Chains A and B, each alone.
Chain A
Amino acid sequence: MSDEQRAKYSLIEKPEQFLPQAQKIIDLAKRKGAQFADAVISLGRDISIGAEKSSIKSAEVSWGKSLSIRVFIDGGLGDVSASDVEDDRIDELVEKAIELAKIATPDPDFVSLPMPEKPVYEPATFDEKILSVTAEQAIQWMLDNIQAAQSVDKDVIVSGDVGLTVSSAVLASSTGISVAKKSTSIHIGFFCVVRDDNNIGSFADHDSARFIEDCQPAGLAEKVTRRAIDYLNQKKAGTFETTLVLAPQATFSLMHTLARLANAESIQRNRSLFADKLNSQIANPAFTLLDDGLVDKGLSSGCYDGEGAVRKKVTIIDNGRFVGQLHNSYTANKAKTANTGHGLRNGGIAPSNLQLLPGKKTADDIIKEVEDGVYLELGGLSPDPVSGDISTNLDFAFKIEKGQLAFPLANAMIAGNLLELLSNIDAISSDYRYEPGNIMPTVRIRNVQISSGER
Chain B
Amino acid sequence: MTDNSVKDVFDILLTVTEQAKKSGVQFADARALAGCSSSIMVQDGKAEKMFYNEANGIAVRVLIDGAWGFASCDGFDVRMVADCLDEAITLAKKSAPVVSDPAAVAPAEIVADHIELAGKYAIEQISLSDKQKKCLALEEAALKAGEGKIVNSMVSYSDGQRQQWVVNTEGTKVYSKVIRARVSCQLTAVEGNVRQRNYQVLGHQGGPEILTDIEPEQLSVKAAKKVLGQLRAKKAPAGEFPVIFHPTISGLLAHEALGHNAEADAIWSGQSILQGRIGDKIASELVTIIDDATIPGKFGTEPFDSEGMRTRQRVIVKDGVFEEPLHCLETAGKFGTKSNGCGRAQDYHNIPLCRMSNTFFAPGNSTLDEMIKGIDRGIYLREGHEGYVYPERGQFLCHASEAQMIENGKLGEPLRDVSVSGLILEALMNVDMVGNDFEMIFPGTCGKGGQGVPTDCGGPHLRVKRLVVGGVGQL
Q: Which residues of A contact B (CB under 8 A)?
A: 2, 4-5, 46, 49, 52-66, 75-84, 86, 96-97, 99-101, 103-107, 110, 135-136, 139, 143, 157, 159, 191, 193, 195, 200, 202, 234, 239, 241, 269-271, 273, 275, 346-347, 384-387, 389-393, 395, 410-416, 449-454
Contact = CB atoms under 8 A, between A and B. Distances in A.
Nearest to A330: B48
B95 A100 contact: no
B240 A453 contact: yes
Nearest to B186: A271
Nearest to B59: A62
Contact of A413 (B72, B95, B416, B421): B421
B52 A80 contact: yes
B271 A157 contact: yes
A384 B270 contact: no
A200 B393 contact: yes
B413 to A, nearest CB: 16
A341 B305 CA distance: 42
A159 B271 contact: yes
A387 B195 contact: yes
A415 to B, nearest CB: 4
B180 interface: no
A451 B469 contact: yes
29 contacts: A53-B268, A59-B69, A59-B95, A61-B91, A63-B72, A64-B73, A79-B50, A80-B51, A83-B55, A100-B50, A103-B50, A106-B46, A143-B98, A159-B269, A195-B270, A239-B238, A241-B473, A269-B152, A275-B195, A347-B49, A384-B197, A387-B195, A387-B417, A392-B397, A392-B470, A413-B468, A415-B235, A415-B419, A415-B472
B70 A451 contact: no
A76 B471 CA distance: 44
B67 A56 contact: yes
Contacts of B46: 105-107
Contacts of A389: 235, 416-417
Nearest to A448: B472
A100 B131 CA distance: 12
A56 B152 contact: no
Nearest to B90: A135
Contacts of B390: 202, 395
Contacts of B49: 76-77, 79, 104, 347
A414 to B, nearest CB: 6
Contacts, number: 249
Interface in B233-287: 235-236, 238-240, 265, 268-271, 273
Interface in B99-143: 99-101, 103, 128-129, 132
A79 B468 contact: no
Contact of A239 (B67, B128, B239): B239
Interface stretch (B74-82, B156-164, B306-314, B315-323): B74-82
A263 to B, nearest CB: 13
Contact of B74 (A66, A346, A410): A66
Given A64-B349, A411-B468, A273 B195 contact: yes
Residue with the greatest number of chain B CB neighbours at <10 A, chosen from A83, A195, A234: A83
A391 B195 contact: no
Contacts of A4: 83
A237 to B, nearest CB: 11
Given A77-B50, A386-B195, 5 more contacts: A57-B103, A60-B69, A75-B48, A84-B74, A100-B128
B429 interface: no
Contacts of A60: 69-72, 91, 351
Contact of A202 (B51, B98, B392, B418): B392
Contacts of B423: 410-411
A59 B92 contact: yes
Contact of A78 (B50, B152, B195): B50
B43 A269 contact: yes
Contacts of B454: none
Interface string B375-410: 000000000000000101101010100000000000
Contacts of A105: 45-48
Contact of B273 (A82, A200, A347): A200
A266 to B, nearest CB: 9
B266 to A, nearest CB: 9
Nearest to A143: B98
B470 A391 contact: yes
Nearest to B422: A411
A452 B468 contact: yes
B432 interface: no
A81 B417 contact: no
A96 B54 CA distance: 12
Residue with the greatest number of chain A CB neighbours at <10 A, chosen from B67, B418, B470: B470
B395 A413 contact: no
Given A80-B52, A389-B416, A392-B399, A270 B151 contact: yes
Given A393-B421, A449-B471, A454-B240, A202 B393 contact: yes
Given A143-B98, A157-B269, A202-B393, A346 B351 contact: no
A62 B132 CA distance: 36
B152 A270 contact: yes
A390 B418 CA distance: 9
Contacts of A46: 349
B471 A391 contact: yes
Contacts of B419: 391-393, 413, 415
Contacts of A269: 43-44, 152, 188
B51 A386 contact: no
Nearest to A275: B195
A267 to B, nearest CB: 11
Given A58-B351, A63-B73, A413-B470, A83 B48 contact: no
Contacts of B71: 60-63
A24 to B, nearest CB: 19
